[in-house]
């Protein structure tokens, strides 16, 4: 196929395989081999997790770049522009390079109907290989074992947290989900778990694979210290660290997991304390407690499960108070909507709810019904779009108020289009 723009490619890729989510490596493995990507021609750090994986990836990227390495970075999904998800040296891929990578994948796939995620994962790897990166940090899209990123054997695998999400694909319990995420581990190679209370299935699966698992609170630790924090691992302590540039108290756990991964790679990719401190302080990640200054203040967060909503509630309660805090909330129907709204109930003065696109999106009426069932005793207003919900919420919050936009990447993406 031949296209003249990235937008055309993206629209076409979404129609290539009608199943938006279709886990498994059988389709993309032969294409990967045809592209000479197996084994990967560059070292890989793979990062999975229910929450925090994007933050951990960004921290690893920032630190390794400051240590002087040529770092490829692959994340998903995007918020402002698709190109931002594929980077080298923290610079997004340009349209010309992206089109070239897409074309290489298309030439190699034959009649194999790749999913959109498989297509873009292979395209990112093609660009990293052509650009001779020193190391690639890659974010798993869904689960781990059957995710396209798992084509590439990780030098070290990182699992940031384990919660119950994506039940239709990963299972109904933390233990089942942990086993799926452990699929990114490799025999004879280390793995890091940033969750201080992992279910037994994680350790069992890692042991079955033959990976050495390092667990937060057991093998490495972190603690606040003065205006910063310190990290302690198997080989010593790093003190006087700055707080990560990505806001939120739970980001220290993600940072601690990133430092454990780097410690395990120290013989191949040595990183000094100055690079660690500078990288942590400089890291930024859109859509994670992202504040847009103005009146009212707008806070954007991609929280889309109860654990993430709980972290958002902690941030609201521990941060500077607002005269009035109202929510713009739109979510997918397969999420634990009841758990999300209960986690935030006491932090919100009014809810402005809207639908997300079919077939996955929950209707505004369905979200309002869940809020009523959860006994959220504040006003709930149903709107026909995120745009209209956001406009009404901004008017309600007024001067000195705060609008919290959350529920999914798509919710934040639509809100960003209105204010940037």
Q: What is the DSSP letter of 4?
A: S
HSE-CB for 249 with a 13 A CA cutoff: 12
Same domain, 300 and 399: yes
Q: Which of 251, 282, 313 is the last residue of a domain?
A: 282
Q: Which of 282, 302, 334 is the last residue of a domain?
A: 282
Task: Give residue 418's pLDDT.
Answer: 79
DSSP secondary structure letters along 304-352: -SHHHHHHHHHHHHHS---S-EEEEE--BTTS-HHHHHHHHGGG-SEEE
Same domain, 143 and 105: yes
Task: Give residue 158's pLDDT.
Answer: 98
Q: Considering the entire predicted model, what is its pTM? A: 0.94
Q: How far apart are CA 182 and CA 180, in angstroms?
A: 5
Q: Which of 282, 304, 321 is the last residue of a domain?
A: 282
Provide the residue-wise pLDDT of the chain in tens; the chain has 420 residues: 677 788 888 788 778 776 667 778 999 999 999 999 989 999 999 999 999 999 999 999 999 999 999 999 999 999 989 999 999 999 999 999 999 999 999 999 999 999 999 999 999 999 999 999 999 999 999 888 999 999 999 999 999 999 876 656 566 788 999 999 999 999 999 999 999 999 999 999 999 999 999 999 999 999 999 899 999 999 999 999 999 999 998 999 999 999 999 999 999 999 999 999 999 999 999 999 999 988 999 999 999 999 999 999 999 998 888 999 999 999 999 999 999 999 998 899 999 999 999 888 999 999 999 999 999 999 999 999 999 999 999 999 999 999 999 999 999 999 988 776
Same domain, 252 and 184: yes
Residue 111's CB: how many other CB atoms inside 10 A? 4
Domain that residue 156 falls in? 6-282
CATH of the domain at 341: 3.90.190.20
Q: Do the domain assignments include residue 252? A: yes
Task: Give residue 172's pLDDT.
Answer: 72
Same domain, 122 and 252: yes
Task: Give residue 354's pLDDT.
Answer: 98
Same domain, 71 and 117: yes
Q: Which residues contact 73 (CB under 8 A, 6 or more apart)?
A: 57, 58, 61, 86, 87, 88, 90, 136, 137, 138
Same domain, 240 and 346: no
Same domain, 270 and 305: no
Estimate the crossing angle of helix 53-66 against helix 251-264, to 10 degrees. 50
Task: Give residue 136's pLDDT.
Answer: 98
Same domain, 322 and 408: yes
Task: Give residue 15's pLDDT.
Answer: 80
Residue 237's CB: how many other CB atoms inside 10 A? 9
Domains contained in the chain, number = 2
CA 227, 311, 82: angle at the middle one, nearest 5? Answer: 100
């Amino acid at each position: 196929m031949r296209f003249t723009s990235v937008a055309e490619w993206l629209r076409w890729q979404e129609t290539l395989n009608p199943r938006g989510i279709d886990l498994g490596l059988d389709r993309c493995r032969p294409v990967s081999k045809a592209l000479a990507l197996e084994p990967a021609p560059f070292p890989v750090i793979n990062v999975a997790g229910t929450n925090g994986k994007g933050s951990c990836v960004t921290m690893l990227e920032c630190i390794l770049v400051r240590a002087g390495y040529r770092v490829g970075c692959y994340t998903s999904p995007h918020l402002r522009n698709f190109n931002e998800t594929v980077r080298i040296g923290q610079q997004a891929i340009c349209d010309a390079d992206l089109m070239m990578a897409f074309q290489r994948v298309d030439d190699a796939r034959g009649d194999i109907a790749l999913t959109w995620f498989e297509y873009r994962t292979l395209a990112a790897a093609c660009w990293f290989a052509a650009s001779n990166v020193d190391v690639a940090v890659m974010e798993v899209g869904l689960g781990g074992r059957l995710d396209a990123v798992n084509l590439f054997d990780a030098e070290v695998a990182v699992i940031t947290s384990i919660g119950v999400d994506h039940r239709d694909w990963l299972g109904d319990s933390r233990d089942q989900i942990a086993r799926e995420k452990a699929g990114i581990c490799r025999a004879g190679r280390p793995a890091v778990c940033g969750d201080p209370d992992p279910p037994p299935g994680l350790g069992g699966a890692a042991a079955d694979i033959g990976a050495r698992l390092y667990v937060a609170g057991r093998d490495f630790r972190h603690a606040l210290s003065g205006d910063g924090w310190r990290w302690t691992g198997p080989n010593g302590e790093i003190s006087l660290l700055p707080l990560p540039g990505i806001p939120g108290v739970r980001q220290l756990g993600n940072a601690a997991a990133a430092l454990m991964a780097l410690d395990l790679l120290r013989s191949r990719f040595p990183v000094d304390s100055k690079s660690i401190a500078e990288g942590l302080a400089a890291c930024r990640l859109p859509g994670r407690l992202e504040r847009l200054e103005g009146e009212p203040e707008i806070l954007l967060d991609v929280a889309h499960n109860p654990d993430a909503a709980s972290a958002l509630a902690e941030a609201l309660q521990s941060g500077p108070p607002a005269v009035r805090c109202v929510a713009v909330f739109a979510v997918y129907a397969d999420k634990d909507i009841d758990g999300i709204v209960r986690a935030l109930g006491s932090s919100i003065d009014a809810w402005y709810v809207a639908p997300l696109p079919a077939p996955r999106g929950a209707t505004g009426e369905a979200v309002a019904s869940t809020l009523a069932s959860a006994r959220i005793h504040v006003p709930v207003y149903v709107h026909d779009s995120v745009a209209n919900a956001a406009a009404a919420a901004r008017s309600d919050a007024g001067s000195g108020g705060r609008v919290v936009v959350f529920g999914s990447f798509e919710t934040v993406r639509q809100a960003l289009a209105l204010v940037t």
